[in-house]
Chain A
Amino acid sequence: MAAPTTLPSALADAVRDESSLRRFLHGLPGVDQVGVEQRAAGLGTRSIKKASKLWAIDTAISMVDLTTLEGADTPGKVRTLAAKARRPDPERPDAPRVAAVCVYPDMVKTAADELKGTGVNVASVATAFPSGRSTMDIKLADTKFAVEQGAAEVDMVIDRGAFLSGRYGLVFDEIVRVKEACGDAHLKVILETGELVTYDNVRRASWLALLAGGDFIKTSTGKVSPAATLPVTHVMLQAVRDWHTLTGERRGVKPAGGIRTTKDAIKYLVAVHEVAGAEWLNNHLFRFGASTLLNDLLMQRRTQTDGHYSGPDYVTVD
């Protein structure tokens, strides 16, 4: 096992070998389940109005990773999505662009051609998404293919089977090697929290991904229910905040799946501000993995700017 970057001594010890890694992960303080759920619910009741709401909506739009991960994806659909990413609300050019378009590796080239020079990144899932059940070579080849095709961000899945059976070293090595294969591309590590069952596991997986060099930790693939929840995102935000305290380095968080309304998105922004800090309120450190969320954000934005409620007839069908 090799540490990806120079780490403070306490963390460097943790990644020396598999047993010290296990010792470190199991030495993390347990998550107070009732406490974190109550705090998440409490922050969710905060009311955001007027100018702050408009700011929150624009910020949330700029954080969206506009995603299409269907077996039925066609080049046409990806191009449509790219057009929407460039100009989410064509009638109101002041609406911000989204952060990235997220597609399967074979669609990366189509998306990259459409988004060249726009500032919107192309993200690609890789490593046998969504199950992660394949050999190392195939996962690495998948990653390299996505990067060659023009992906600036790679969303990998961890091997949950290995994680749940306690083979942390295997998961660690996998993330390290995928990170190498990414080259300059940003790596987002999908923990698939819906399959990790407990908050303690989420905390361990978060630290594991951070230690192995993931630039982002992401909740879910969107293919498993429950996907992103507020308490899980809390635990992950705590991990990146603690990582910053220890190393001075800021890593990102991306909840994905199940966030469909502006109200939900704003709850997440409140959590980011309160748990991680205001420095995380930008699309370099926080993203939403979503597809339908964008339409609701645009409708709510129109409500704020037009002074009356908007409807789904006024945004694109996707």
Chain B
Amino acid sequence: MSDRISVAKTYKLYIGGAFPRSESGRSYPVTDSKGAFLANAAQGSRKDARDAVVAARKAFPGWSGATAYNRGQVLYRVAEVLEGRREQFITEVSAAEGVPLKKAQSTVDQAIDRWVWYAGWTDKIAAVLGSANPVAGPYFSFSTPEPTGVVAVLAPQQSSLLGLVSVVAPVVASGNTAVVVTSQDRPLPAITLSEVLATSDLPGGVVNLLTGRTAEIAPWLASHADVNALDLTGAPDSIRADLERSAAGTVKRVLRSRAAEDFTREPDMSRIRAYLETKTVWHPMGV
């Protein structure tokens, strides 16, 4: 019996529900924690980031306009497909993060649970963060949380799946759309997540995943006038201040979470709240 020749993979980006090559034509080798070759990943450029923002903007009205209940169902469906790919994720997380399979297994389980946790929040956000305000007059006054828009997410560099899920799910749960720059050296679980998203009911463009050099792509997203919020979780320390400065140019919401965040602890609402705006409206009674 002859040895089978292994199928070497060259992955692509995930933009607008499709898998295009990088506009730049570049790719880079991805290795496991010990330096052995795993696959080639596309090295996204600023123009890929631009295309991803256009796709995210296009998807925003549909996704934010969908009922919270519908968004919850779609996200729960994503969790189901995640569960189906469990073995693949365990292998990839183990290779990427250099942890034993058993540890990887609990990380993957936790990531899936995290996704379900955020899926459950979609139709509860308005009840928890919104309010019917007491007013001294013949009026109703309501405050309702609304999604900010297109959110650029720099995913954590270390935690390749659990960290990624923990930063992406809260963005889309409330109706935002996301442009995600994945972990630079550990992108494979993110690429598999994009395959999961493409085969679940999530509309194209709601989540866009770019692999490549974070320091190369991030400044273009930070200065982009059509991006409404920026998550700095995976930003290299050397450019963090610059990113905040250019994000201020178009008054983006910036989430200044630190790279050392522990994603295994119980999540809370802070990441959902970070990408919401509160709209307060007054209604005359009886009209």
- On whether the beta carbons of A312 and B53 are closer than 8 Å, the reply is no
Which of chain B's residues 6-20 have a Cβ closer than 8 Å to chain A?
none
Stretch of B123-131, B223-231, B269-277 at the chain-chain interface: B223-231
- On whether the beta carbons of B246 and A309 are closer than 8 Å, the reply is no
Complex contacts, B246 vs chain A, CB 8 Å: 308
Tell me, yes or no, whether A314 is within 8 Å of chain B by CB: yes
Tell me, yes or no, whether A137 is within 8 Å of chain B by CB: no
Residue interface mask B50-64, A partner, CB < 8 A = 1: 100100010000000
Tell me, yes or no, whether B28 is within 8 Å of chain A by CB: no
Tell me, yes or no, whether A313 is within 8 Å of chain B by CB: yes
Tell me, yes or no, whether B117 is within 8 Å of chain A by CB: no
B53: contacting residue among A302, A307, A309, A313, CB under 8 A: A309
Q: Name B219's closest neighbour in chain A (CB-CB).
A: A308
Q: Name A307's closest neighbour in chain B (CB-CB).
A: B223
- On whether the beta carbons of A309 and B224 are closer than 8 Å, the reply is yes
The listed residue with most B CB atoms (<10 A of its CB), out of A309, A313, A314, is A309
- Minimum CB–CB distance from B77 to chain A (whole Å) comes to 31
Which of chain A's residues 222-280 have a Cβ closer than 8 Å to chain B?
none
A276 to B227, CA, bound (A): 41
Query: Chain B contact residues (Cβ within 8 angstroms of A): what range?
Result: 10 to 19
Tell me, yes or no, whether B140 is within 8 Å of chain A by CB: no
Residue interface mask B16-56, A partner, CB < 8 A = 1: 00000000000000000000000000000000001001000
A313: contacting residue among B220, B226, B249, CB under 8 A: B226
A309 to B223, CA, bound (A): 7
- On whether the beta carbons of B50 and A309 are closer than 8 Å, the reply is yes
Tell me, yes or no, whether A292 is within 8 Å of chain B by CB: no
A185 to B226, CA, bound (A): 42
- On whether the beta carbons of A312 and B226 are closer than 8 Å, the reply is yes
Q: Name B50's closest neighbour in chain A (CB-CB).
A: A309
- Minimum CB–CB distance from B49 to chain A (whole Å) comes to 8
Q: Name A309's closest neighbour in chain B (CB-CB).
A: B224
Tell me, yes or no, whether A131 is within 8 Å of chain B by CB: no
- On whether the beta carbons of B226 and A308 are closer than 8 Å, the reply is no
- Minimum CB–CB distance from B68 to chain A (whole Å) comes to 25
- On whether the beta carbons of A308 and B57 are closer than 8 Å, the reply is no
**How many residues on chain A are close to B (CB under 8 Å)?**
9
Which of chain B's residues 183-227 have a Cβ closer than 8 Å to chain A?
220, 223-227
- On whether the beta carbons of B57 and A311 are closer than 8 Å, the reply is yes
Complex contacts, A309 vs chain B, CB 8 Å: 50, 53, 220, 223-226
Tell me, yes or no, whether A310 is within 8 Å of chain B by CB: yes
Complex contacts, A310 vs chain B, CB 8 Å: 225-226
Complex contacts, A313 vs chain B, CB 8 Å: 225-226
Which of chain A's residues 277-318 have a Cβ closer than 8 Å to chain B?
302, 307-314
Q: Name A261's closest neighbour in chain B (CB-CB).
A: B54
Q: Name B47's closest neighbour in chain A (CB-CB).
A: A309
- Minimum CB–CB distance from B47 to chain A (whole Å) comes to 10
- Minimum CB–CB distance from A41 to chain B (whole Å) comes to 18
Q: Name B46's closest neighbour in chain A (CB-CB).
A: A309
A309 to B226, CA, bound (A): 8
A294 to B220, CA, bound (A): 23
- Minimum CB–CB distance from B253 to chain A (whole Å) comes to 15
- Minimum CB–CB distance from A53 to chain B (whole Å) comes to 13
A307 to B250, CA, bound (A): 13
Residue interface mask B227-259, A partner, CB < 8 A = 1: 100000000000000000010010000000000
Complex contacts, B223 vs chain A, CB 8 Å: 307-309
Q: Name B53's closest neighbour in chain A (CB-CB).
A: A309
- Minimum CB–CB distance from A263 to chain B (whole Å) comes to 11
Which of chain B's residues 169-195 have a Cβ closer than 8 Å to chain A?
none
Complex contacts, A314 vs chain B, CB 8 Å: 225
A302 to B226, CA, bound (A): 13
- On whether the beta carbons of A311 and B226 are closer than 8 Å, the reply is yes
- Minimum CB–CB distance from A80 to chain B (whole Å) comes to 23
Complex contacts, B224 vs chain A, CB 8 Å: 308-309, 311
The listed residue with most B CB atoms (<10 A of its CB), out of A302, A308, A313, is A308
- Minimum CB–CB distance from A185 to chain B (whole Å) comes to 40
- Minimum CB–CB distance from B176 to chain A (whole Å) comes to 15
Q: Name B246's closest neighbour in chain A (CB-CB).
A: A308
- Minimum CB–CB distance from A313 to chain B (whole Å) comes to 7
Complex contacts, B225 vs chain A, CB 8 Å: 302, 308-311, 313-314
Q: Name A302's closest neighbour in chain B (CB-CB).
A: B225
A250 to B216, CA, bound (A): 48
A308 to B245, CA, bound (A): 13
Which of chain B's residues 90-139 have a Cβ closer than 8 Å to chain A?
none
In addition to A310-B225, A310-B226, A311-B226, 10 A-B residue pairs with Cβ atoms within 8 Å of each other are: A308-B220, A308-B223, A309-B220, A309-B224, A309-B225, A311-B53, A311-B227, A312-B226, A313-B225, A313-B226
User: Can you list 28 contacts pairing A with B, beta carbon distance less than 8 Å?
Assistant: A302-B225, A307-B223, A308-B220, A308-B223, A308-B224, A308-B225, A308-B246, A308-B249, A309-B50, A309-B53, A309-B220, A309-B223, A309-B224, A309-B225, A309-B226, A310-B225, A310-B226, A311-B53, A311-B57, A311-B224, A311-B225, A311-B226, A311-B227, A312-B57, A312-B226, A313-B225, A313-B226, A314-B225
Instruction: Across the A-B interface, give the 3 residue pairs with the lowest CB-CB distance, nearest first.
Output: A311-B226, A308-B223, A311-B225
Chain B residues close to A by CB (< 8 Å): 50, 53, 57, 220, 223-227, 246, 249
Chain A residues close to B by CB (< 8 Å): 302, 307-314
